[in-house]
A and B are shown apart, each in its own frame.
Chain A
Amino acid sequence: MLSKELVAASTVPLVLSVLAEGESYGYALIQRVRALSGGRIEWTEGMLYPVLHWMEAEGLIESEWREAETGRKRKYYRLVREGREALQTEREQWLTVHQTLIKLWKTLPHLT
């Protein structure tokens, strides 16, 4: 299980990355992240929506209400250019942290 702080910090890059695969909606986004993380990234599901709305206000994504295959209306989100750029920046930052930690942990063999 991820800590609360890490969940909060990783939500935006995760959403950007899932939407980079193609447009999606809130419920499917959560399912995708849950499946990829083997259930180790668990969001309080409703909390995703304020983040999506904030990202839309920031101009990273755009949304559209459309009829889904269930016959009900559903709000779809997709990445826009600024979102792709933000994803690039996020990727560099997360990789920096990741690579630094990996290098440090290599010299600490008792950590498994």
Chain B
Amino acid sequence: MENTTAFDLNNAIRRWRDGLSQSPHFREENLAELEGHLRDSVAELEGRGLTEEEAFLLAASRLGNPAGLASEFAKVNRGQVWLNRLLWMLVGIQVWGLLATVSHLAADAAVLGGLTGLGYRFRQFYPLSVGGVFAAALFGLANLAVLAGGVAGCWWLMRRKETSFHQATVKAMQRPVLVGLALSLLLLVIALAPAAQWALVQKCYAREAAGNIAMARAFSGLVFGPLQTLAFVVLTIMLFRRRLRPGPAS
């Protein structure tokens, strides 16, 4: 196959460095030092008559494969690796908070709208009425379904490499601090939404009905909680088994 695009050394080196920077095991300083080495090596090989492209390929392979390098650097950059993990845990908590808030809002709105549309008026809750128990269970299940749907949707979008969601996520992964800050701001704004939703409920329903809705919503935790725990256990086992499966030989 004929090579139609001219080889650009700086471009190739940037792509090579970007590849390494995907791993949390390198500090910026390490990458600068390795890049310096690569450039020295390329210059010397070119001096021996290799083309720029050949020199780059040989120099990069002499430096070692990225996975092997990452694992060696990980040994000397332990503190950095843990800092990075901590950073991602914090980002993860924020993502979870955001997803949970949004899905709760959506599920509550759907159940309220649906039941009201069917003519249920939330007139009684105590003593435990069939309708009250049903409403509580419905809130719990709907919350779980929307949350699980949201997680599955994000997962599905992530897995499809051609989506812009995937590309945006990969790009964002390189800037955890910025992502964390943006998520914090978003959480701050969205924290107002549940309060607004319940203010709306107070306005739209009779006082007693609004109280019963709040009660059904509170009791929904009895359904939501255990199911959420179960989902976490299943997910953990699935991820753990996946991790134990041997990866493709490199």
A47 in contact with B64 (CB, 8 Å): yes
**Cα distance A47–B37 in the bound complex, in angstroms:** 12
A30 closest partner in B (C-beta): B37
**Cα distance A25–B33 in the bound complex, in angstroms:** 10
Which of the candidate stretches B66-74, B89-97, B128-136, B225-233 sits at the interface with the other chain? Answer: B66-74
Per DSSP, chain A at the interface is helix
A50 in contact with B36 (CB, 8 Å): no
B37 in contact with A44 (CB, 8 Å): no
B76 in contact with A75 (CB, 8 Å): no
- Chain B nearest CB, measured from A77 CB (Å): 11
Q: Is A13 an interface residue (CB 8 A)?
A: no
B36 in contact with A73 (CB, 8 Å): yes
- Chain A nearest CB, measured from B70 CB (Å): 10
Contacts of B41 in A (CB 8 A): 27, 45
Given contacts A27-B36, A73-B36, contact A49 B30 (CB under 8 A): yes
**Cα distance A3–B72 in the bound complex, in angstroms:** 18
Which of the listed residues B34, B37, B43, B62 has the most CB atoms from chain A within 10 Å of its own CB? B37
Q: Is B54 an interface residue (CB 8 A)?
A: no
Given contacts A53-B76, A54-B76, contact A46 B36 (CB under 8 A): no
A46 in contact with B34 (CB, 8 Å): yes
B32 in contact with A45 (CB, 8 Å): no
Contacts of B62 in A (CB 8 A): 44-45
B69 in contact with A47 (CB, 8 Å): yes
B72 in contact with A47 (CB, 8 Å): yes
A50 in contact with B37 (CB, 8 Å): no
Q: Is B206 an interface residue (CB 8 A)?
A: no
Q: Scoring A residues 35 to 49 as 1 if CB is less than 8 Å from chain B, else 0, what string do you get?
A: 000000000111101
- Given A27, A44, A50, A53, which contacts B40 in the complex, CB threshold below 8 Å? A27
Contacts of A57 in B (CB 8 A): 76
Q: Is B63 an interface residue (CB 8 A)?
A: yes
A48 closest partner in B (C-beta): B37
Which residues 14-70 of A have a CB within 8 angstroms of B? 25-27, 44-47, 49-50, 53-54, 57, 70
Q: Is A84 an interface residue (CB 8 A)?
A: no
Q: Scoring B residues 65 to 87 as 1 if CB is less than 8 Å from chain A, else 0, what string do you get?
A: 00011001101100000000000
B39 in contact with A44 (CB, 8 Å): no
B36 closest partner in A (C-beta): A74
B72 in contact with A50 (CB, 8 Å): yes
Contacts of A72 in B (CB 8 A): 36, 39
- Given B29, B32, B76, which contacts A50 in the complex, CB threshold below 8 Å? B76
A72 closest partner in B (C-beta): B36
28 examples of A-B residue contacts, CB within 8 angstroms: A25-B36, A26-B36, A27-B36, A27-B41, A44-B62, A44-B63, A44-B64, A44-B68, A45-B37, A46-B34, A46-B63, A46-B64, A46-B68, A46-B69, A47-B64, A47-B68, A47-B72, A49-B30, A49-B33, A50-B72, A50-B76, A53-B30, A53-B76, A70-B39, A70-B43, A73-B36, A74-B36, A75-B33
